[in-house]
């Protein structure tokens, strides 16, 4: 539940900030009459994201076990790719996000659908990424664990999104001020750990689908020491997607992902800001 709460909070806050930038720009430029276009785009993006999530949840049903595992494992790995790209993108491009959105709005203000499409693309990207990663994370958490209810990860995500909406509104109203760079840096690092667990789960799915070998070759099995139904096993699975019986390929994938991605991410977040060169002085005429 904690992992999905964090996913919902981070992605929800990112989407809320995007909407805040769009709304604030229209309000400050005295174009309030264009606000319905933004809200129409946001509503459409939410509907598309919900539809995508429903397709992921109910689409594979009726297929063979191997086909379900193959689809689930493939989508889990794709979700890891998306979340990896997302945390790296936020580490570098977030500073210029406001200007980029305002430029898009200025270019699109001529047609009614222009601003709708801007809102759909800006918010829909976050929604689709969230739906895919939440689905993969939920599958990883609930698979083979009777101690974790299928509704618990969903509840955590909804609480995270609700918290993000409230924070976004308070930031827009100027009621609170948070260090967004610090927030996204820490949550990005934690999401990398979560993504490593989802990657390991995806590898296990592909092994069960007989697409990858080594299903019966275990790196370790501590089932006799750690009861899978215990509260601490539930916490470990919920936060790190830890499973008492882990295959060699799963362990290699988890360690390799964290060892490679985490240092690159931390280096990217600590990179000094580029200083813009001063504009040349205007020529003077005598």
**Cα 48 to Cα 276: distance, rounded to the nearest angstrom:** 39
**Cα 73 to Cα 206: distance, rounded to the nearest angstrom:** 5
**Cα 242 to Cα 222: distance, rounded to the nearest angstrom:** 11
Return the structure tokens found at 44. Answer: 């459409």
Enter the pTM of the model: 0.73
Under a CB-based contact definition with an 8 Å cutoff, are residues 148 and 240 in contact? no
Count the neighbouring beta carbons within 10 Å of the beta carbon of residue 253: 21
- pLDDT tens per residue across all 286 residues of the chain: 667 787 888 888 888 888 888 888 788 878 788 888 888 888 998 899 889 888 887 777 667 888 888 988 898 899 899 889 888 887 776 666 667 677 777 776 555 567 788 778 778 877 888 888 888 877 776 665 555 565 676 788 888 889 988 988 888 887 777 777 788 888 888 889 888 988 998 999 999 999 999 888 999 888 778 776 676 776 677 667 777 888 999 999 999 999 999 999 998 887 665 544 444 444 444 4
Angle between helices 112-142 and 65-93 (to 10 degrees): 120
């Amino acid at each position: 539940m904690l992992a999905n709460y964090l996913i919902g909070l981070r992605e929800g806050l990112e989407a809320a900030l995007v909407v805040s930038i769009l709304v604030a720009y229209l309000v400050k430029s005295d174009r309030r009459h264009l606000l319905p276009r933004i809200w129409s785009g946001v509503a459409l993006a939410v509907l598309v994201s919900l539809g995508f999530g429903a397709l992921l949840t109910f689409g594979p049903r009726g297929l063979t076990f191997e086909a379900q595992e193959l689809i689930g494992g493939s989508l889990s790995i794709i979700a890891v790719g998306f979340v990896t790209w997302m945390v790296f993108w936020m580490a570098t491009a977030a500073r210029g996000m406001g200007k980029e959105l305002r430029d898009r709005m200025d270019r699109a203000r001529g047609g009614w659908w222009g601003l709708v499409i801007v809102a759909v693309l800006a918010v829909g990207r976050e929604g689709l990424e969230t739906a895919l990663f939440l689905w993969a994370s939920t599958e990883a958490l609930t698979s083979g664990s009777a101690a974790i209810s299928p509704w618990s990860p969903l509840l955590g995500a909804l609480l995270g999104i609700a918290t993000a909406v409230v924070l976004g509104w308070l930031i827009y109203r100027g009621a609170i001020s948070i260090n967004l760079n610090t927030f996204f840096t820490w949550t990005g690092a934690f999401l990398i750990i979560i993504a490593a667990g989802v990657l390991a789960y995806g590898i296990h799915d592909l092994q069960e689908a007989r697409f990858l070998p080594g299903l019966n070759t275990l790196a370790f099995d501590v089932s006799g020491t750690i009861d899978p139904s215990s509260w601490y096993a539930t916490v470990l699975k919920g936060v790190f997607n830890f499973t008492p019986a882990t295959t060699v390929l799963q362990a290699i994938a988890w360690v390799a992902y964290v060892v490679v991605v985490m240092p690159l991410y931390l280096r990217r977040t600590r990179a000094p800001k580029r200083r813009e060169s001063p504009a040349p002085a205007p020529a003077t005429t005598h």
